[in-house]
Amino acid sequence: MSDSQLRNEAGRTSFDSYQDLVKFCKRINQGWYRCQAIAGSAHKLPKQDRMKACNAAITAANTETDEYRKQAVQVWVVEAMYECGFTHDADLLVNQLIQSSDRIIPSNSQGYMLELLFERCTPDREDHRMAIMTKLVSLRESKGGWRVERAIISCARYFHRQVYTDYIKELMSRCTNERLKRRIMKDHERALA
């Protein structure tokens, strides 16, 4: 079986203990897939084993040598931590990923990782969403990139739906790209109509 097939198999399997999960996941060679398998199964474990699984998933992610892969796959860990009720730990990991995202090259990859984090791992946390959007706009202004612009547009749609007019206007006041500003404001006005 390939690593991705083993990850999918882990998702379909109920493990009785953390040890059973780790034993199964040792068959997965790539840290990316091993992290996803462990994080994706953490919520099915007995409560006392769930944090151990989240930590093991982070360890698996850190075996990746590419900075994008190392950080982007931890989005699954953050999601697992929230799902298992480890809100404080998840919040710390979100903040760590936002800060360490500067190590991801190129900027388009950094933007995509931040978009993943925004969309999948910040339930009811406006502070995280705003920090990620601020980071994206800053990244666009300093390094540019089509993927960064797409991430900003995608993430801004959340704020449009939530009627954060003042926040959108303040954020766009920092943006020097007139085309991007027009696009965001047009989407926002359409969402409010």
Judge whether 112 and 70 are in contact, CB under 8 Å. Answer: no
Per-residue pLDDT of the chain (193 residues; tens, 9 = 90+): 999 999 999 999 999 999 999 999 999 999 999 999 999 999 999 999 999 999 999 999 999 999 999 999 999 999 999 999 999 999 999 999 999 999 999 999 999 999 999 988 766 788 898 899 999 999 988 888 899 999 988 888 777 666 567 777 777 787 888 888 888 778 777 777 6
Sole residue written with tokens 């399997």: 13
Helix ranges restricted to H, the chain: 3-12, 18-25, 31-41, 47-61, 67-72, 74-84, 87-100, 107-120, 126-142, 146-161, 165-173, 178-192
What is the pLDDT at residue 161?
A: 63
Contact indicator for 133, 118 with CB cutoff of 8 Å: yes
Q: Both tokens of residue 147?
A: 């993927």
Q: Determine contact, residues 57/80, Cβ cutoff 8 Å.
A: yes
Cα 130 to Cα 124: distance, rounded to the nearest angstrom: 12
Question: Can you give the pLDDT at residue 53?
Answer: 98
Whole-prediction pTM value?
Answer: 0.84
What distance lies between CA 75 and its chain's CA centroid?
A: 4
Tokens of residue 156, six digits:
């801004």
pLDDT at 184: 79
- At 193, list the tokens: 């109509």
Q: What pLDDT is stored for residue 193 in this prediction?
A: 65
pLDDT at position 123: 60
Separation CA 143–CA 19 (nearest Å): 44
> How far is residue 32's CA from residue 3's CA, in Å, rounded to a whole number?
9
